[in-house]
């Protein structure tokens, strides 16, 4: 800072300094912050998230009875998952940075106390003292640009919150689909184990009557044992999937939870043109656009930062025979630092944001093409298995079972038919699961987490 320009007067009494300091502080405080536009509202915090872990008032339990649509599970996750608290904290931090950007610099108060040692014998010693008060004033354009840059970061936080919510919804949908698929597999495995056990009992009865040999009994028992092992494994997989779903939604999810709309036999709308248009409104692209806009605002703020600030002040000193007071006016001389580095860094950040946006758009296009192909493939496979292969497999089992009961077919023929039917059912379950998961990926690619979901029902307590 250059040497302040001083206007000096001499008068009796240092009492002028104190009221002058008060006036300076009042003048600096009256400037206030420039008017702020309304910032995006912070999403309300749910009861589950707002209450601390040791809060004696527990949140009201939810009703998970009956078939539960995925939309309710997603809503529960949004209300209670820590992602919501992180979003609220990010909003609060961005709003605080806006307020900080509009804050005035604090005034600087300096007090001095000294002692003179005269070099002439007839002069008395003295203890001069004094003080000064200065206030740094930013140019309005510089200050407003700084506030605008902070508000741009606030918009970035809002857009990134939507991206986080999109990812949360997709993760909950995946967990619900995997749980529903595991329940279907466990149910089918339990039915297979029951039939295998009945077949083993039937074979033993026929062997006792001399209508079957011991090898047939052994094969039937082996089939029953293997089916029981598969049933227990599928049950453990279902329990694991439910435990994962509980970490997303609610620890109180019941063991008998039924997901209503995890799978659908209807072909999803997969119009490539409309999906591509929806992808252009993807929250991730919006977030990157806000990052580029924030970089532009930062460039403006860095350029405005080159303008020198003014520093005004008053001072007063008292010596043995005189009192001195005055005013000062100072400003920076941009000789050594013109903020070229700050401007260059902001411009590089803007270029990086634009390049990242182009790369992200290409990635979303790839994800859209892959997800769309996966949806069409899995849904077509599921339709063919459901309408063609599954009825034929069920008919084969029915015919072989009847023939086995009448003695016209061997146990090996019946077991072969059952294995073929089980393979068809497993392929159908896998195709439906892949189709549902591909719809989740499609929703991520277009930025719409409700792709393929039925309309949400009215909320329950």
Kindly report, residue by residue over 373-400, the tens digit of the pLDDT: 898 899 889 889 988 998 998 888 888 8
pLDDT for 55 equals: 41
- Mean of the per-residue pLDDT values for the chain? 81
CB 101 within 8 A of CB 33: no
pLDDT for 268 equals: 61
Mean pLDDT (whole number) for 46-59: 39
Mean pLDDT (whole number) for 267-279: 71
pLDDT for 175 equals: 95
Which of 29-33, 241-245, 446-450 has the lowest average pLDDT?
A: 29-33
- Tens digits of per-residue pLDDT, 339-360? 888 889 989 999 999 999 999 9
pLDDT for 183 equals: 95
pLDDT for 159 equals: 92
CA 349, chain centre distance (Å): 23
pLDDT for 340 equals: 87
- Tens digits of per-residue pLDDT, 287-318? 999 999 999 999 989 888 888 888 899 989 88
pLDDT for 453 equals: 60
Mean pLDDT (whole number) for 7-12: 40
Angle at 275 between CA 270 and CA 276, to 5 degrees: 135
Which of 39-43, 192-196, 229-233, 350-354 has the lowest average pLDDT?
A: 39-43
Domains annotated for the chain, with CATH where assigned, are 5-24+65-116+124-263+279-332+341-358 (1.20.1600.10)
Comparing 201 with 271, the larger pLDDT belongs to 201
**Dist CA 289 CA 261 (whole Å):** 35
Residue 47 has pLDDT above 70, yes or no: no
Residue 247 has pLDDT above 90, yes or no: yes
Pairing of the two strands 258-259 and 67-68: parallel
pLDDT for 45 equals: 38
**Dist CA 181 CA 432 (whole Å):** 8
- Tens digits of per-residue pLDDT, 158-180? 999 999 999 999 999 999 999 99
- Tens digits of per-residue pLDDT, 311-325? 899 989 888 778 888
pLDDT for 267 equals: 64
pLDDT for 109 equals: 93
pLDDT for 171 equals: 93
Residue 362 has pLDDT above 80, yes or no: yes
| 130 DSSP β-pair partners | 112, 317
Residue 31 has pLDDT above 60, yes or no: no
């Amino acid at each position: 800072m250059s040497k302040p320009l001083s206007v000096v007067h001499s008068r009796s009494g240092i009492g002028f300094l104190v009221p002058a300091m008060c006036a300076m502080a009042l003048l600096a405080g009256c400037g206030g912050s420039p008017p702020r536009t309304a910032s995006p509202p912070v999403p309300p915090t749910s009861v589950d998230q707002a209450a601390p872990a040791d809060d004696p008032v527990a949140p009201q339990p939810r009703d998970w009875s009956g078939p539960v649509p995925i939309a309710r599970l997603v809503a529960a996750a949004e209300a209670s998952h820590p992602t919501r608290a992180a979003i609220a904290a990010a909003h609060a931090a961005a709003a605080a940075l806006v307020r900080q950007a509009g804050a005035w610099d604090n005034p600087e108060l300096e007090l001095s106390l000294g002692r003179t040692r005269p070099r002439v014998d007839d002069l008395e010693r003295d203890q001069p003292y004094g003080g000064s008060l200065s206030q740094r004033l930013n140019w309005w354009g510089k200050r407003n640009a700084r506030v605008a840059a902070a508000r741009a970061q606030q918009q970035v936080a809002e857009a990134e919150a939507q991206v986080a919510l999109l990812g949360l919804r997709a993760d909950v949908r995946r967990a619900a689909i995997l749980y529903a698929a595991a329940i279907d597999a466990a149910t089918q495995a339990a039915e297979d184990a029951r039939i295998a056990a009945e077949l083993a009992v039937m074979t033993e009865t026929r062997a006792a009557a001399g209508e079957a040999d011991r090898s047939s009994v052994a094969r039937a028992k082996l089939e029953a044992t293997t089916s029981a092992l598969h049933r227990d494994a599928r049950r453990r997989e279902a329990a694991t999937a439910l435990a994962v779903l509980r970490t997303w939604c609610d620890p109180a999810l019941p063991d008998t939870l039924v997901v209503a709309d995890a799978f659908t036999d209807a072909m999803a709308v997969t119009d490539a043109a409309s999906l591509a248009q929806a992808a252009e409104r993807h929250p991730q692209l919006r977030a990157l656009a806000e990052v580029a806009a924030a970089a532009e605002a930062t460039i403006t703020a860095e350029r405005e930062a080159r303008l020198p600030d003014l520093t005004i002040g008053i001072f007063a000193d008292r010596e043995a025979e005189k009192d001195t007071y005055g005013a000062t006016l100072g400003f920076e001389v941009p000789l050594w630092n013109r903020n070229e580095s700050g401007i260059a860094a902001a411009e590089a950040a803007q270029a990086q944001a634009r390049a990242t946006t182009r790369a992200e758009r290409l990635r979303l296009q790839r994800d859209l093409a892959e997800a769309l192909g996966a949806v069409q493939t899995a849904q077509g496979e599921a339709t063919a298995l459901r309408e063609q292969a599954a009825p034929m497999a069920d008919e084969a089992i029915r015919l072989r079972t009847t023939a086995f009961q009448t003695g016209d077919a061997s146990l090996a023929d019946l077991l072969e038919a059952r294995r073929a039917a089980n393979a068809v059912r497993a392929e159908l379950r896998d195709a439906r699961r892949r189709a549902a998961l591909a719809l989740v990926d499609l929703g991520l690619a277009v930025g719409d987490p409700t792709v393929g979901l039925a309309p949400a029902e009215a909320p329950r307590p």
